[in-house]
Amino acid sequence: GTQKGDTVKGINALKKYLHTLGYLSNHNHNHAADGDYFDENLESAVKTYQRNFNLNPTGHMDLKTVSMMGKPRCGVPDVINRTTRMQGGPAHYHTHYVFYPGRPKWPATKQIISYAFLPGTRTDVQEPVRQAFLTWSKYTPFSYEFVQDYDAADIKISFQRGDHGDGYPFGGPGPYNLLAHSFSPTDGRAHYDGDENWTVVAVPGAVDMQTVALHELGHVLGLAHSPVQAAIMYPLAGPRV
């Protein structure tokens, strides 16, 4: 596979992907001259990614790594402030819940958290999101209330396309596929890629709305990514339904 010292078309896209997910901290998207050169920083980033996903940390873009990076996933970084909570070997793998650094959370005094959809959001995808809130209400001390006033809601759910102004652009289906991202408490924003094929029933090749909503709400409530493959906070989406 591609490795340190190689110059290959497509390396710049890999750098952008790893930068978005927190693995590369100093990638300058505009510096195209060395954009496709596989340097030391990229090798280190690939190794960290490989450790997080239980792959052999060679630093090379071998088949297993390319395959893992090709899976649709959440666009929230795995590495935040140069800290990854995902790795650490088997001793850490019992935990399905991993918190953001500093453990930001909604105030305990807040019993009801309101949520709203951006006006114009497809009505069929709203029900799976409501079901996801219902599930989280069983495991959190809050109840969740749907409101019409988007601007006043604690949690704001919207479909966005491409570069939508928050520093985390979407790219639609294809390589390095980021489906959605959300912000930790008490920001409340949850963004889904409007160019993806979202479904509320099992359709081949589509993305299941309720599964992704469950995951994204975890972020909104203060949970980071988990290394446990069976956990709802595992960053990779399952195969497209």
C-alpha to C-alpha distances, 202 to 137, 208, 215, nearest whole angstrom: 25, 7, 18
Exposure on the CB side of residue 156, measured as CA atoms within 13 A: 13
Binding residues for Zn(2+): 74, 164, 166, 181, 191, 215, 219, 225, 233
Q: Spell out the residues 6+ positions from residue 164 whose beta carbon is closer than 8 angstroms to its own.
A: 170, 191
Binding residues: 74, 154, 164, 166, 172, 178, 181, 191, 193, 196, 215, 219, 225, 233
Q: What does the angle CA 197 – CA 189 – CA 24 come to, to the nearest 5 degrees?
A: 80
Query: Known catalytic residue: 216?
Result: yes
Report whether 222 contacts 106 (CB < 8 A): yes
* CB atoms near residue 151 (< 10 Å): 6
Binding residues for Ca(2+): 154, 172, 178, 193, 196
Coil/strand/helix, residue 183: coil
Q: Spell out the residues 6+ positions from residue 10 whose beta carbon is closer than 8 angstroms to its own.
A: 36
C-alpha to C-alpha distances, 127 to 65, 186, 192, nearest whole angstrom: 35, 23, 15
Choosing from 40, 43, 145, 216, which is the catalytic residue? Answer: 216
| Exposure string for 181-218, b = 16+ CB within 10 A, e = fewer | bbbbbeebbbbbbbebebbbeeeeeebbbbbbbbbbbb
Report whether 78 contacts 23 (CB < 8 A): yes
As annotated, the active-site residues are 216
